[in-house]
C-alpha cells in the first residue's frame, strides 16, 4: 500500500466518524464530532499500521491489532457510561463510539462501500429508532 492509498483510507474513516459525530452533536449527546472522528481515525490508523507491518513480515497476523482496537475502545466507551441514581446514561454513546471504531477498521481495510453502509446504519439507528425507544420507555 502506497502513501496515497494510506491517506485515502484514513480520510474515509475520518469522514465516517465526522458523519456519525455530527448526528450525535446535533442531538446534544455526550460524544460528538471530535470524539467520533478521533475514534474512527485512530482505529483506522492502527489497522493501517498492522497492514503496513504485515506487508514487510508475512508471518504477522493483521487481525491482532484490530482485536486490540476493539478492547481499547471498549475501555474508552466505559468512561462515557455513568450512573445517576437508578438511571444509567451514556450506553448509546459508548455503543456509538464502538461502532465508529469498527467503521474505522472497515475503511482502513479498504471496504469503502461497506464502511458507508455501516455509517448510515448507525445514523438510522440513532435517529429513526429514537422515537420508538422513547415510546417504549414511557409507556405505562
Determine the Cα–Cα distance for residues 118 and 104; give it in Å rounded to an integer: 10
Q: How far apart, in Å, do the first and last CA atoms of the chain sit?
A: 57
What is the rounded (10 degree) CA torsion for 80, 37, 21, 47? -80
For 86-122, the pLDDT digits (tens) are: 888 888 999 999 999 999 999 999 999 999 999 999 9
The pTM (predicted TM-score) of the whole model is 0.90
Over the stretch 5-23, which tens digit does the pLDDT of each residue have? 999 999 999 999 999 999 9
Are β-strands 87-89 and 82-84 bridged in parallel, bridged antiparallel, or unpaired? antiparallel
Calculated CA dihedral for residues 57, 103, 35, 86, nearest 10 degrees: -120
pLDDT for position 78: 86
Give tens-digit pLDDT for 23-60: 999 999 888 999 999 999 999 999 999 999 888 887 88
Amino acid at each position: 500500500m502506497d502513501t496515497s492509498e494510506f491517506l485515502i483510507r484514513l480520510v474515509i474513516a475520518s469522514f465516517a466518524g465526522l458523519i456519525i459525530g455530527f448526528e450525535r452533536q446535533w442531538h446534544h449527546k455526550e460524544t460528538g464530532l471530535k470524539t467520533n472522528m478521533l475514534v474512527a481515525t485512530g482505529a483506522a490508523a492502527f489497522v493501517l499500521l498492522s497492514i503496513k507491518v504485515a506487508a514487510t513480515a508475512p508471518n504477522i497476523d493483521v487481525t491482532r491489532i484490530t482485536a486490540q482496537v476493539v478492547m481499547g475502545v471498549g475501555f474508552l466507551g466505559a468512561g462515557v457510561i455513568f450512573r445517576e441514581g437508578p438511571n444509567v446514561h451514556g450506553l448509546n454513546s459508548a455503543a456509538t463510539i464502538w461502532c465508529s471504531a469498527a467503521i474505522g477498521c472497515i475503511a482502513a481495510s479498504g471496504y469503502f462501500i461497506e464502511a458507508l453502509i455501516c455509517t448510515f446504519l448507525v445514523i438510522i439507528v440513532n435517529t429513526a429508532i429514537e422515537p420508538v425507544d422513547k415510546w417504549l420507555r414511557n409507556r405505562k
